[in-house]
Structure 1
Amino acid sequence: MAGRGPGWVPNQHGAWAMLASPLLVGVLAGGPAWVHLPLTAFWFAGYLAFFATGLWLKSGRRARWWPPVRAYIPLATALGLVVLLADPGLLVWAPGFALPLGVGLWASARRRERDLLVGLTTVVGSSLMTVVAYAAGPGPGPDGDLGRAWLLALVQVLYFGGTVFYVKSAIRERGNVAFLRLSVVVHALATLAVLPLSWWLAGVFATLTARAAVVPPRGVSPKALGLGEVVGTVVVGVVSLLVT
């Protein structure tokens, strides 16, 4: 597929963790259900459509970038309809994704997709899937309580929000002392935010804070950053599930 033209295969490797983690945490917390199968397919197809559309807009709507848009949007739409047929109640969550989607596409059209605010908005939208996946399972019970799901989503926001600063301080803003300090402060505030939930979780975030201070100045490669993010994503997800 990649050989057919540009835009078919996303090259933002960190985005896959941001897609998979909230979804998986929500499934594990709320319990698996059959609707999670089409929901997962729709979630990833939706990202493929979003990525391809963003590149098409960034190119100035050039025809060369249109084929993956034409393929992925109908696929995501069809899968979305399957999800709604399986669980019509999930439609209530659709408006929550409108703002992140709109901001992301607007930024791509203006070649500003690397802006800090855009990254943070994307994090919020992605983390909302924790609650959606939880609500789709048997976890909420007859009273529909989503308290645990929102706490888990908050942890996802704090973690991935921190990675936006961390990765930027190590690559695009490398050498920018002010931005490095901002990244460390953001991580420290996240540590304080999770402290009421668990000392264990706060310990994980404190370690991430130390990483944010030490690693970027050393000039670590993007591959090494990516591997570190995989480990961080797994640890945060597992610990949050154990302590909430």
Structure 2
Amino acid sequence: MSRSRAPGWVPNQHGAWAMLASPLAVGILAGGPAWVHLPLAAFWFVGYFAFFATTLWLKARRRPRYWPPVRAYAVAAGVLGLVTLAMQPRLMVWAPLFALPLGVGLWAAAARRERELLSGLATVVGSGLMTVVAYAAGPGTDLSRAWLLALVQFLYFGGTVFYVKSAIRERGNRRFLLLSVAAHAAATVVVLVFSPWLALVFLVLTVRAALVPPLGASPKQLGIGEIASTVVVAVVSLLTV
């Protein structure tokens, strides 16, 4: 890493991009687009940049070298957040819901436990909530559908946390593999209640969770598969939920 540039400016967690884009896109498409979605989307992504930079700063025991991107992204996110609220003040009602997942993520970084399951699932919760926020920002009025779509995002990305961990950090851990398969199977049963077609997609993901990790897929192969499955889950959920 170049000493002339502080770390934290560019997030290196490639899997986070799908987790940012999918809930936002699903919420916008389900509820209908509005001008406020432009600053909201910018706030969402810049806010993630601020979160990522802050986690690095906390992990580094608040070393000054890690502070510049925290400051820059926090200010930018604050401005974008104010613009969003100026256009749609009622969105402020959703802000408290993000406090817990955000707090867990920052605590995990400070404790250097950001790779643990709790931290990953907390991130999933925060991500999925954007489905409802993006929906509420548009002209849509069926919040019950928005929450169902958010639930699909929770279940899918929650399964992804188990799946990727079972294929990389916990590869060879049979108990964790079984836990991952069980989590996918449970998600399949849940979505079967309101969307048989989506349940079929989750059934395929359950089979994938059982078969792929023991084969030793590379991170690149896992990433390509995740992009495809994220799109499929989003499209099928929009069409059938």
Matching residue of 2:71: 70
Residue 149 of structure 2 aligns with an amino acid whose one-letter code is L
Shift of 1:151: 0.4
Match of 1:148 among 131, 145, 148: 145
Matched-pair contact (CA < 8 Å) for 1:2–1:9:
no
Matching of residue 15 in structure 1 with residue 16 in structure 2? yes
Aligned residues: 240
Structure 2 residue runs of 5 or longer lacking an equivalent are none
Matching residue of 1:94: 95
Matched-pair contact (CA < 8 Å) for 1:22–1:129:
yes
Matching residue of 1:172: 169
Structure 1 residue matching 2:172: 3-state secondary structure:
coil
Structure 2 residue matching 1:4: 3-state secondary structure:
coil
Measured in 1, the distance between the counterparts of 2:131 and 2:18 equals 13
Matched-pair contact (CA < 8 Å) for 1:2–1:8:
no
Matching of residue 191 in structure 1 with residue 192 in structure 2? no
Measured in 2, the distance between the counterparts of 1:113 and 1:227 equals 24
Measured in 2, the distance between the counterparts of 1:3 and 1:235 equals 42
Matching residue of 2:154: 157
Matching of residue 235 in structure 1 with residue 236 in structure 2? no
With over 3 angstroms needed to count, the CA separation of the structure-2 counterparts of 1:2 and 1:42, relative to structure 1, is: farther
RMSD over equivalenced CA pairs, Å: 1.2
Matching of residue 205 in structure 1 with residue 206 in structure 2? no
Measured in 2, the distance between the counterparts of 1:226 and 1:95 equals 32
Structure 2 residue matching 1:183: 3-state secondary structure:
helix
The 5 A counterparts of 1:86-125 are 86-125=87-126
Matching residue of 2:218: 221
Structure 1 residue runs of 5 or longer lacking an equivalent are none
Residue 134 of structure 2 aligns with an amino acid whose one-letter code is A
Measured in 1, the distance between the counterparts of 2:154 and 2:3 equals 31
Residue 56 of structure 1 aligns with an amino acid whose one-letter code is W
Matched-pair contact (CA < 8 Å) for 1:23–1:133:
yes
Measured in 2, the distance between the counterparts of 1:125 and 1:132 equals 11
Measured in 2, the distance between the counterparts of 1:89 and 1:95 equals 13
Q: Identical aligned pairs, as a percentage?
A: 75
Q: TM-score normalized by structure 2?
A: 0.98
Measured in 1, the distance between the counterparts of 2:3 and 2:88 equals 34
